[in-house]
């Protein structure tokens, strides 16, 4: 039965291995799950989910898999019925509380409980209240009702309730990021090499040379290791990018941090790259793209950031950039292709959520540049692609789309 839960987890892209599953079985054989669903929830999460970003998906899978089992088990457990007949909470009550308690006698309470049980099935479909919640419900753990009945294991909150809260949603990988997270993601973008001044003591070599020198100390220096990666960042600003301005500034802050790359340059463009890019976001200092290409190694990493959303004519027609340049004989599409052809590795990060990509100019641009969404996951994949290459993600069917546009 539980194996299906494993596949439920894996279906949600949780990387649970056989190794971990065996550990879970071992743990259950030792009784670490305390023979309860709550215990199992924590045991399984502790052993199989190793990343806070996956907790939410785990909660989701747990809810989907156990929601019915939970109720069936509750219904069938004779132990629970015996327990209901003998509520522990009677001890240590004031007279006033006892009177309140009697107002709701045991039979009534049991009837209410069973009724609530039925409602609970409807909760997932309809939205009623859980047994097992705290607060003032007469049933559950840690509640404030004087005649409360405790249902479920000792002291903690029920797993279903914990799972149902989806507390870990904010830790998901596919949300947009803050500076620190971008920083961490960009750390992958490095290729270390030694060059520059020799100012680091090479201990191994020193020992070697000293030994060869019959014990006469011979000190050897070497240059320290530095990141050799050079990056050019092209950012779309203004217009449809305004909602993403905050995110862009975070990305810029993280990327431009001193000493991160051997060489870091950034330029701005509006909508699409045409014959020139700009050194400032006010578009005053133009740098012709031809010049940019002439001054860039093919090994430099090109990162474009923009929503890639525009009117098709702005991308596909020559002179589409009516706003800036007068003599624009090539289309934006053509300029993008020239950029892509020059650099060995280039990516486009798109702050627009992926679900809006289909059927827009994004598809066309994604066929020129490898494109990922500007999320923690997307950025990490983009960085991996820049360093190691690999498969480009396929977005929609740009050819068909372009034909329908032109035709």
Query: φ, ψ for residue 297 (rounded to 5)?
Result: -65, 150
- Selected range binding another protein among 43-51, 233-241, 315-323, 381-389, rule: CB under 8 A: 43-51
Q: Does 345 bind another protein (CB under 8 A)?
A: no
| Count of residues that interact with another protein, criterion CB under 8 A | 30
Dihedral sign, CA of 274, 276, 253, 226? positive
How many CA atoms does the CB half-sphere of 251 hold within 13 Å? 24
Q: DSSP letters along 146-189, please?
A: TT-B--SSSSS--HHHHHHHTTTGGG-TTS---HHHHHHHHTT-
Instruction: Report the residue from 2, 7, 51, 311 that binds another protein according to the rule CB under 8 A.
Output: 51
Phi, psi at 305, each rounded to 5°: -125, 125
193: contact with another protein by CB under 8 A: no
Q: Which of 343, 398, 400, 392 is nearest to 371 (CA)?
A: 392
| Residue 42 in the binding site for another protein (CB under 8 A) | yes
Contacting range for another protein; rule: CB under 8 A; set: 207-215, 292-300, 330-338, 350-358: 207-215
> Chain-centre distance of CA 218, in angstroms?
51
Q: Of these, 10, 20, 117, 262, which contacts another protein (CB under 8 A)?
A: 20
- How many CA atoms are closer than 13 Å to the CA of 333, on its beta-carbon side? 18
Check binding of 184 to another protein (CB under 8 A).
yes
| Among the listed residues 34, 170, 200, 242, the single contact to another protein using CB under 8 A | 34
- Contact between 249 and another protein per CB under 8 A: no
Which span (49-57, 92-100, 107-115, 249-257) binds another protein, by CB under 8 A? Answer: 49-57
User: Cα 213 to the chain's mean position, in Å?
Assistant: 55
Which residues make Cβ contacts (< 8 Å) with residue 277, sequence separation at least 6? Answer: 234, 267, 268, 269, 286, 287, 289, 292
**Other beta carbons less than 10 A from residue 385's beta carbon:** 19
Would you give the binding string for another protein spanning residues 142-181, x where CB under 8 A is met? -------------xx----------x--------------
* Contact residue for another protein among 55, 62, 268, 372 (CB under 8 A): 55
Closest to another protein by CB, 241 or 383: 383
Closest-CA residue to 86 (of 110, 116, 103): 110
Shortest distance (Å) from residue 262 CB to another protein: 19
Q: Which CB sits closer to another protein, 76 or 201?
A: 201
Nearest to another protein of 215, 390 (CB atom): 215
Where on the chain is the footprint of another protein (CB under 8 A)? 15, 17, 19-20, 23, 26-27, 30-32, 34, 39, 42-43, 45-47, 49-52, 55, 155-156, 167, 184, 187, 207, 210, 215
């Amino acid at each position: 039965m539980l194996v299906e839960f494993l596949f439920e987890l894996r279906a949600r892209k949780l990387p649970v291995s056989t190794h971990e599953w065996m550990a879970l079985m071992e743990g259950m054989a030792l009784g670490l799950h305390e023979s309860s669903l709550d215990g199992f929830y924590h045991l399984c999460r502790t052993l199989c989910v190793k990343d806070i970003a996956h907790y939410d998906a785990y909660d989701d899978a747990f809810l989907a898999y156990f929601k019915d089992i939970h109720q069936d088990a509750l219904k069938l457990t004779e132990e629970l019925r015996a327990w209901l007949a003998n509520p522990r909470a009677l001890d240590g009550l004031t007279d006033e509380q006892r009177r309140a308690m009697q107002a709701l006698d045991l039979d009534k309470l049991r009837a209410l409980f069973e009724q609530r049980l039925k409602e609970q099935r409807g909760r997932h479909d309809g939205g009623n209240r859980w047994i097992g919640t705290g607060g003032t419900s007469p049933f559950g753990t840690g509640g404030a009702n004087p005649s409360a009945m405790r249902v479920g294991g000792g002291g903690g909150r029920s797993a279903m309730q914990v799972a149902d809260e989806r507390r870990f949603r904010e830790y998901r990988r596919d949300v947009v990021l803050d500076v620190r997270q971008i920083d961490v993601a960009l750390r992958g973008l490095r290729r270390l090499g030694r060059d520059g001044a020799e100012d680091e003591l090479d201990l191994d070599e020193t020992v070697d040379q000293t030994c060869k020198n019959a014990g006469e100390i011979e000190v050897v220096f070497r240059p320290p290791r530095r990141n050799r990666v050079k990056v050019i960042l092209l950012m779309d600003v203004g217009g449809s990018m305004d909602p993403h301005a905050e995110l862009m500034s975070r990305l810029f802050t993280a990327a431009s941090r001193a000493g991160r790359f051997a060489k870091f340059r950034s330029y701005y463009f509006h909508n699409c790259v045409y014959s020139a890019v700009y050194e400032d976001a006010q578009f005053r200092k133009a740098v012709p793209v031809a010049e940019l290409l002439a001054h860039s190694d093919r090994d430099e990493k090109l990162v474009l950031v923009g929503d890639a959303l525009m009117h098709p004519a702005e991308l596909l027609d020559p002179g589409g950039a009516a706003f800036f340049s007068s003599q624009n004989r090539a289309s934006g599409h053509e300029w993008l292709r020239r950029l892509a052809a020059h650099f060995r590795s280039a990516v486009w990060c798109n702050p627009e959520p992926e679900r809006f990509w289909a059927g827009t100019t994004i598809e066309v641009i994604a066929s020129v540049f490898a494109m990922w969404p500007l999320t923690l996951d997307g950025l990490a994949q983009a960085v991996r692609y820049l360093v190691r290459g690999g498969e480009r993600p396929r977005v929609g069917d740009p050819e068909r789309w372009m034909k329908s546009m032109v035709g």
